Structure 1
Amino acid sequence: MNILHQYTFQSLKVNRRRTLFTGMGIVISVAMITAVSVFASSFLDYMERKAVYETGDWELAYSDLNETEIQYLNTDKQVDHTFMVDDLGYAVLPESQNEYKPYWF
């Protein structure tokens, strides 16, 4: 056996209390690192599920497309679903509390 191993074992036998506390410290450190990793992973999963719930399950958004580009996307076999969103503009809100903004977008 190596002289370093012999010295290490001898030191561990002599200082049993310090060895025990060092082992417990290592176990607690590993448990804390594991807990933080699990917490971070579950938090990221929660944020992803929340975003899908609030905004929908979509992967890509285009803006300012012309009619031929829209037709190309609708007929593309790699695209599963498409939908269009358009702003209608402003509408007058008759009973508005704000006199500077008597409209609704």
Structure 2
Amino acid sequence: MNLYTSLTLRYLKENKRRTIVTIIGIILSTALICGIGNISVSLMDHKIRETIANDGEFHATFYDIKKDDISTITNSAGISKSALSESLGYAKLDKDDKYMIQIKEYDENAFKGYQIKLKDGRFPSNDKEIVLSEESLKKSNKKIGDSISFNIGKRVDEDGNSREGDLWAYEN
């Protein structure tokens, strides 16, 4: 072992320029590898935060659930939080309006999970109040506080059964 050490030290002393260039190369390549790793982790974190902001923060969505099955799913192992949303149907904001909006019903956890943020006004405090998207307000002549009445159409399947609510859940 001493022979290898003495040969290495002698080589390094005789070739100082090559030794310095090699050490600088090792430092630069290590910095490059660490930088690429940091960029990858940062990009992944950015994509996760962007997805949560755009689509909501949940891990699973269950569609067409019967009301009897909701407690079975929400009390299952691995689910720490859950929220309910139900599509009530589609309606026009104005009678002569050509645009249709989808009417959905959310519980309190769904507002938080879908990352719904208000620009103006407040969240509904009863079942007679709604939240409209900024786009819907622009397309109609409505303002915050106006009264709106809807003719909501129910969606049914081929058998004539109405659609139940959607449930989404968080994992532990």
Band the TM-score falls in, shorter-chain normalisation: 0.7 to 0.9
C-alpha separation between the residues in 2 aligned to 1:89 and 1:22? 69
Structure 2: give runs of 5+ residues left out of the alignment: 103-172
Where relative contact order (Cα < 8 A, 6+ residues apart) is larger, the structure is: 2
Give the number of the structure whose residues are more often helix, by fraction: 1
Give the structure 1 partner of residue 70 of structure 2: 70
- 1:51 matches 2:51: yes
Structure 1: give runs of 5+ residues left out of the alignment: 97-102
CA RMSD of aligned residues (A): 2.7
Using the size of structure 1 for normalisation, the TM-score is: 0.74
Change in CA separation of 1:62 and 1:13 when aligned onto 2, cut-off 3 Å: same
Task: Write the deviation string for residues 4-34 of structure 1: whole angstroms up to 9, x where unpaired.
Answer: 1110100000010100000000000011111
Using the size of structure 2 for normalisation, the TM-score is: 0.47
Query: Matched residue pairs, number?
Result: 97
Give the number of the structure whose residues are more often strand, by fraction: 2
Matched residue of 2:83: which SS?
Answer: coil
Task: Write the deviation string for residues 78-98 of structure 1: whole angstroms up to 9, x where unpaired.
Answer: 54331224373697x9769xx
Change in CA separation of 1:36 and 1:87 when aligned onto 2, cut-off 3 Å: farther
Larger Rg: 1
